[in-house]
Amino acid sequence: MATLKNTQEDLKGSGGSTLRVESSLPPKLPSDFLSDYPKLSNEQAGYLRHFHNLATQPDGEWRHMGTQDPGQEWLDAYRYQLAVMAYAAGASHYHRLPALRSVFKQLLEQLIHKMLRREVWGYSYLTSQSGKFVDPDIVELRKPWSDPNKQENIMIIAMRYNDVRQGTAVADKVLKNYAAAWGDENSFLQEDKFFINWYLVKQDRTVDGGIGFTAWACAFMNSWNSDFVHSLFPAQSLGFLTHAPGGRINLNNEKVAQAIRKLTESEKVDPYAWDTLEKAREIAAHTENKPAGPFPQPLFGYVAQWVSEVGDQSTCDGLLCHANEFLNPSWDQGGLFYPRNNTLADNQGNWTYVDPFTGNAAIAYASLNVPDGQREMWQKPWAKEHFSQYPFVDGIGLDSGVDFLRGAWEGTKGVISMRTWDGSKKT
């Protein structure tokens, strides 16, 4: 039980006068006081510490963040890692530690500083020229540009928050035009309920998609198109999530997942059962591989983000349980991450593949987010009124060597709890 030792004290005024100041604080706090304020787990605090460690590296150093493609043109590029770290930091501040404004302001400023590094955005000059991969009929490369946000990038969530800040309605206009362009939201759905990868404008055809980009899109589309996204989740996730003992949930690759889907339809098996997975693996072993991209997608990270937003908490917890059992959780200077591993699965079919996007950012995001977290932030963004009224603690940050486990204010009560990441004593 917390004890406040002094409820009154004497202050010496000018001329030697004595002023007695009575404190309104009780001498003791109720024994259940902290129960109203859930604290971050060791893992969640470790994820935020890892973000801080990566964001405060000397410029030019990218420890733990090395990507599969040296030109930063694949899905685990620095820009995606940093963006999801920023999303995770924002979700943590909004949903878990709202009184710690300066902690997250400092962290986000450090992440933004890294985003502005040439190593992060320099890829744009080359990729802006297009190529056969996205335009098979191209004869002459386009004139390049270096600004990655100049065109062909639509940041709808960012537009929403800018609208809140500036009193504009850009996001509403963009979403209206988006809906008009597609005609019907089912027009970008395939028969298997996955989203198409992209639309080839010149060729007037689509490129087939799978679980990867579908999960990535739904994790954030839920903010503004929630009913649609939630309605698709059972069909889209079918075959990819297998329940294991102890509450763990395994992620299955696309060949195995498709085999589970067929077994579910033809033999009415339980699509989440481990014995169904074993049977599906036997079928998948004799199935021809489909053409794939140059590198594996960050599938575990995409699915974990998606499940944290659209799925139920137990499913998200099951994926996190799997990560902490099979993806080699590692600690470095108080930060928790999952190092790269190019092996797709072990001999029993347990997912083991980890890319830098998943290991540095996406699993952390899934743990720090809450169900419908992006949706709530979209619907109830913090406007000027919030910042003018909600108490917060200033002048503190992760650079102090302290992890913050609680930081909230409710009515007349508030709490902040912290610890040093290395167990050292600080005064």
CA 350-352-357 angle, to 5 degrees, is: 140
CA-to-CA distance for 202 and 224, rounded, in angstroms? 29
Q: Count of alpha carbons within 13 Å of 150, Cβ hemisphere only?
A: 10
Task: Please tell me the pTM assigned to this model.
Answer: 0.92
The answer as to whether 334 is a domain residue is yes
Return the H-helix or E-strand segment holding 309: helix 299-310
**What is the model's pLDDT at position 355?**
98
User: What does the DSSP 8-state code read for residue 411?
Assistant: T
**What is the model's pLDDT at position 150?**
82
User: Helix %, strand %, coil % for the chain, to 5?
Assistant: 45, 10, 40
The answer as to whether 179 is a domain residue is yes
The answer as to whether 3 is a domain residue is no
The answer as to whether 110 is a domain residue is yes
**For residue 72, what are the contacts with CB-CB under 8 A and spacing of at least 6?**
78, 79, 119, 120, 122, 123
**For residue 97, what are the contacts with CB-CB under 8 A and spacing of at least 6?**
40, 103, 104, 404, 406, 407, 408
Is 427:401 a contact under the CB 8 Å cutoff?
no
Per DSSP bridges, beta strands 8-12 and 205-207 are unpaired
Return the H-helix or E-strand segment holding 80: helix 78-95
Q: What is the pLDDT along the chain (427 residues), one digit of tens a residue?
A: 344 444 445 545 555 666 555 666 677 778 888 888 899 999 999 999 999 999 999 999 999 999 999 999 999 999 999 999 999 999 999 999 999 999 999 999 999 999 999 999 999 999 999 999 899 999 999 999 988 888 888 889 999 999 999 999 999 999 999 989 988 877 899 999 999 999 999 999 999 999 999 999 999 999 999 999 999 999 999 999 999 999 999 999 999 999 999 999 999 999 999 999 999 999 999 999 888 888 999 999 999 999 999 999 999 999 999 999 999 999 999 999 999 999 999 999 999 999 999 999 999 999 999 999 999 999 999 999 999 999 998 999 999 999 999 999 988 888 999 999 999 998 7
The answer as to whether 259 is a domain residue is yes
Per DSSP bridges, beta strands 249-251 and 241-243 are antiparallel
Per DSSP bridges, beta strands 241-243 and 402-410 are unpaired
The answer as to whether 1 is a domain residue is no
DSSP 201-212: TTTTEEE---HH
**What is the model's pLDDT at position 32?**
82
Number of domains composing the chain: 1
**What is the model's pLDDT at position 18?**
60
Query: What range does the domain containing 113 cover?
Result: 8-420
Neighbours of 309 (CB within 10 A): 29
**For residue 415, what are the contacts with CB-CB under 8 A and spacing of at least 6?**
33, 34, 37, 406, 407, 408
Q: Could you tell me the two tokens for 84? A: 């999801």
**What is the model's pLDDT at position 29?**
77
Q: Could you tell me the two tokens for 406? A: 């609680």
The length of the chain, given as a count of residues:
427
Closest to 415 measured CA to CA, from 104, 100, 103: 100
The answer as to whether 427 is a domain residue is no
**Dihedral sign (CA 175, 231, 80, 158):** positive
Cα 45 versus chain centre, distance: 15
**What is the model's pLDDT at position 372?**
99
**What is the model's pLDDT at position 28?**
79
The answer as to whether 2 is a domain residue is no
CA 14-17-22 angle, to 5 degrees, is: 105
In tens, the pLDDT along 362-385 reads 999 999 999 999 999 999 999 999
Phi first, then psi: what are they for 145, rounded to 5°?
Answer: -140, 155
